[in-house]
Structure 1
Amino acid sequence: MLAPVTSRPSPSGPVSPAEAWQRLADGNRRFVAGRSNHPNQDAARRTALVNAQHPFAVIFGCSDSRLAAEIIFDVGLGDVFVIRTAGQVIDDAVLGSLEYSIAVLGVPLIVILGHDSCGAVTATRDAVDSGQMPAGFIRDLVERITPSVLTAKREGHDDLTAMIDEHVRQTAARLEDNSRVIAEAVADGRTAVVGVSYRLDDGTGTVVSTTTPLTTTG
């Protein structure tokens, strides 16, 4: 389960990476327990967001239909800026979207959201094991995930879960490697990057990497 941040969100909204993480962790605990609040999903919230948005986190996750970020973290309209690709594979559009969330929206937290039984990572493992690459643009996904699978194998991990966790970690690291905007925001303490691996069966997540120590309460 998402590890219980050293401070609670202020009444005016999260202002730090720790506060943003606390809000997500609290929402996930409600979701796991079957007590979701479904906040900020009414007509009044919709109207309030017509002229501006102020999300407190950006979630870059897999496109899998079972990985709906707003539901998993029990948030609503305007709360999180969401980017999704199969296997949370990074490309220029993803980096541009993430930089927008940091530079323009001032989001203090980036969450990389992977999950068990990921089809994209499974396809990559199979391609590495068989030496047969898939056709079409699926090949592009596999090529981008291959370094994560190979790293897991080099470290003696042949199970899919270990490969998925490694891919979450490598995805988080590549954000800073490939984007000066993100790297500077992390170095300045304005933004943290947290990698989370989600379990489909019970709805819980495990933190597998973080650029900043974030210890949740509650």
Structure 2
Amino acid sequence: MHDAPTETRRAAAAGHREESTAGSPARRCFLVGGAGALAALPLLATGRAAAQPCGLADPAEPPTPTPTPGQGMPTPEEVLRCLAEGNERWVAGELLHPNQSVARRLAVAAGQDPLATVFSCIDSRVPPEIVFDRGVGDLFVVRTAAQTNDDLIQGAVEYGAQESVTPLVVVMGHQRCGAVVFAVDALNNGTEVPAHLVAVVEALKPAYLAAEPLPGDQVDNTVRAQIRLTVDQLREDPLLLPLIGDHLVEVVGAYYSLDSGCVEFMRP
């Protein structure tokens, strides 16, 4: 059964959503390439005065980019701006910690209306809610070793985008991913892999093969190949495909730097 916020979101999604016209200075941290549906989107500089639609407001929290009830469903572009701005606050050490109060907990207890689904690695240094400076009820988060995908994980991502119509799905890999280091070493050396780690290595093999002929750091190339392949898988998902075609949902890749804390969004 759909909760009330989800039904409101679905009703908004059924009509034509208005594009955001707000703007702010160009950002430098978030390097973006490609020519997908979001290619024209400027990534925005963080500012406490910025007012991009960004999720349900929490009256107990300091001002943060959030829409007010009745504004309708945010676009993928608006959600991406929100996450980009939150990440810049994380990089700068100026976190707002939005939607992390008791009031927020109570407000979403009866139903959730998340902004985005983030599919990321299990690495303890890459917590999506902190990386994007979000709070309770803001994100569906799916995490596996090196964001390896299978039917169960695909179903979890489908749930976020289809059931609650989260406008944005982010596949986020990261610098020096331990699972990728392990898989690359095993595949390079023919090392015997114990127990269920075999499944992790096999899941990363297509990315390993895609990255193998590339110049540069083999691990980093494999991380980026895994992001791209997973984005491609999700963009071809039969449940997500019509939502993407109607511009209600977008799937993007993201690469997180452990050193800087900066997220680089990768266009489809």
TM-score, normalised with respect to structure 1: 0.90
Query: Structure 1 residues 156 and 202, CA, compared in 2 at 3 Å: closer, same or farther?
Result: closer
Matching residue of 1:101: 160
Is contact 2:214-2:221 (8 Å) kept? no
**Structure 1 or 2: more helix by fraction:** 1
CA distance in 2 between counterparts of 1:3 and 1:132 reads 36
By relative contact order (CA 8 Å, sep 6+), the higher-ranking structure is 1
CA distance in 1 between counterparts of 2:190 and 2:121 reads 24
Which consecutive unaligned segments of at least 5 residues does structure 1 have? Answer: 212-218
One-letter amino acid of the structure 2 residue matched with residue 81 of structure 1? F
Which consecutive unaligned segments of at least 5 residues does structure 2 have? Answer: 1-28, 33-40, 45-51, 54-65
1:42 aligns with 2:94: no
Residue of 235, 250, 261 corresponding to 1:192 = 250
CA distance in 2 between counterparts of 1:61 and 1:35 reads 23
Residue of 107, 110, 122 corresponding to 1:51 = 110
CA distance in 2 between counterparts of 1:150 and 1:3 reads 25
The Cα offsets for residues 122-149 of structure 1, whole Å up to 9 and x where unpaired, read as 1111122112241111110110101101
Could you tell me how far 1:161 is from its partner in structure 2?
Answer: 1.2
Matching residue of 2:30: 2
CA distance in 1 between counterparts of 2:187 and 2:81 reads 38
1:139 aligns with 2:167: no
CA distance in 2 between counterparts of 1:88 and 1:176 reads 15
Please, which moves more after superposition, 7-16 or 20-29?
A: 7-16
Task: Give the % identical residues.
Answer: 36
1:27 aligns with 2:86: yes
One-letter amino acid of the structure 2 residue matched with residue 174 of structure 1? Q
Please, which moves more after superposition, 141-150 or 9-18?
A: 9-18
Matching residue of 1:215: none
Matching residue of 1:127: 186
Matching residue of 1:174: 233
Could you tell me how far 1:202 is from its partner in structure 2?
Answer: 1.2
Is contact 1:61-1:88 (8 Å) kept? yes
Is contact 1:114-1:168 (8 Å) kept? yes
TM-score, normalised with respect to structure 2: 0.74
CA distance in 1 between counterparts of 2:104 and 2:169 reads 23
CA distance in 2 between counterparts of 1:27 and 1:56 reads 13
Is contact 1:70-1:80 (8 Å) kept? yes
Could you tell me how far 1:157 is from its partner in structure 2?
Answer: 4.6
> For the pair shown, which has the larger CA radius of gyration, 1 or 2?
2
Matching residue of 2:67: 11
Please, which moves more after superposition, 6-15 or 61-70?
A: 6-15
Is contact 2:235-2:251 (8 Å) kept? no
Is contact 1:2-1:28 (8 Å) kept? no
One-letter amino acid of the structure 1 residue matched with residue 244 of structure 2? V
Is contact 2:227-2:253 (8 Å) kept? yes
Matching residue of 2:264: 206
